Amino acid sequence: MTDLLTTLVSGDINLLTGLIWLIIATGLSVVGGAIGGILLAGEELGYKFAATIGGLFAPAGVIPAMVLGLLLLNFCPKF
Query: Residues 21-64: pLDDT tens digits?
Result: 889 999 999 999 999 999 999 999 999 999 999 999 999 999 99
**Which parts of 46-58 fold into alpha helices (H)?**
47-57
Give the pLDDT confidence score for residue 3 in this predicted structure: 83
**Residue 73: pLDDT band with limits 50, 70, 90:** confident
Give the pLDDT confidence score for residue 29 in this predicted structure: 95
pLDDT at 75 over 90: no
Residue 21: name the closest of 57, 74, 75 by CA: 74
Backbone angles phi, psi at 55, to 5 degrees: -70, -30
- Distance (Å, whole) CA 41 – CA 56: 14
